[in-house]
Amino acid sequence: MNTSQPITPLFNRLRFVLVETSRPGNIGAAARAMKTMGFGRLILVNPRFSDALQHEEAVAFASGANDVLEQAEIVGSVEEALKGCNHVAAVTARLREFSPPVQAPRGWAEDLAVSPDVTAALLFGNERFGLPNELVERCNTLINIPANSDYASLNLAQAIQVLAYEARMASTVDEVLLSGIGFQGELAEMTQIEGMYDHLEQALVTIEFLDPSNPKKLMPRLRRLFSRTGLETEEVNILRGMAGQIMKKCRRD
């Protein structure tokens, strides 16, 4: 990392992504929660209402955070919402068997604050159904908010408020912690990592290590393994090169 370059504030590196939100009021309340902590990038993936950002309920619940609503984006896929990100965190109350590593909000925010090369997204699911397993498995980490085990029920805006607060507090970290020691490569973007997984899966099928008709949980386990490493672009390229060479050698044989 070149420490002579200006450090991009965490407020400019973190986006909040709401997937298939049902209630316009929750979108407005989310905007309010974000703005109170200094964050402004809100992205909606296929909200239930086409006029979700202008809906009177959204405007009312935003309670003055209209600028966040006006600047918000509506996209048709999670992939589009995550474009340019190299770290994605799924926020969910439900733990999954093959989830990525689990972190509490504070630890996650502190890690993000001292990683100035990270462009991150927080992923929040539908109010009723949450995030699907296949989407959670593609994330770098799963954030679980510690709460009363007898009633661990936070609504969407409350969860966003907790994460935004922790991110704000972590962003005040002393810049000396950002100086870093030794070489640090550029973190790979999610699209690059997804391409690597596709390439790796093809190679494993080629050498008959993976049976496509009965894959079991091999790929989710590999995703979990690699999600703990913080893959850099060059590392992704090396793994893809290895996969390509395996396939090339098998074709020759």
pLDDT at 94: 80
Assign 182 to helix, strand or coil: coil
pLDDT at 7: 63
What pLDDT, in 10s, does the model give residues 115-154? 888 999 999 999 988 899 889 988 999 999 998 888 878 8
Band of the pLDDT at 161, cuts 50, 70, 90? Answer: very high
What pLDDT, in 10s, does the model give residues 48-98? 998 999 999 999 999 999 999 999 999 999 999 999 999 999 998 887 776
CATH code at 10-178? 3.40.1280.10
Which comes out higher in pLDDT, residue 98 or 205? 205
- What is the full DSSP assignment across 47-76? -SSTTTTT-HHHHHHHTT-HHHHHH-EEES
Average the pLDDT over 199-222 and give the result. 84
Distance CA 33, CA 165 (A): 9
What pLDDT, in 10s, does the model give residues 237-247? 888 888 888 88
What pLDDT, in 10s, does the model give residues 27-53? 999 999 999 999 999 999 999 998 999
How many C-beta atoms surround the C-beta of residue 38 within 10 A? Answer: 13
Tokens of 131: 């995030």
Q: Where are the domains of the chain?
A: 10-178, 190-252
pLDDT at 174: 41
Q: Which CATH class is domain 190-252?
A: mainly alpha
Distance CA 164, CA 38 (A): 8
What pLDDT, in 10s, does the model give residues 189-204? 878 888 888 888 888 8
Half-sphere exposure for 150 (CA within 13 Å, toward CB): 0
Assign 109 to helix, strand or coil: helix
**pLDDT surpasses 90 at 228:** no
Q: Do domains 10-178 and 190-252 have the same CATH topology?
A: no
pLDDT at 60: 96
Q: Which residues pair with 91 in a beta bridge?
A: 124, 143
Which comes out higher in pLDDT, residue 57 or 229? 57
pLDDT at 252: 77
pLDDT at 184: 61
What global pTM score does this model have? 0.72
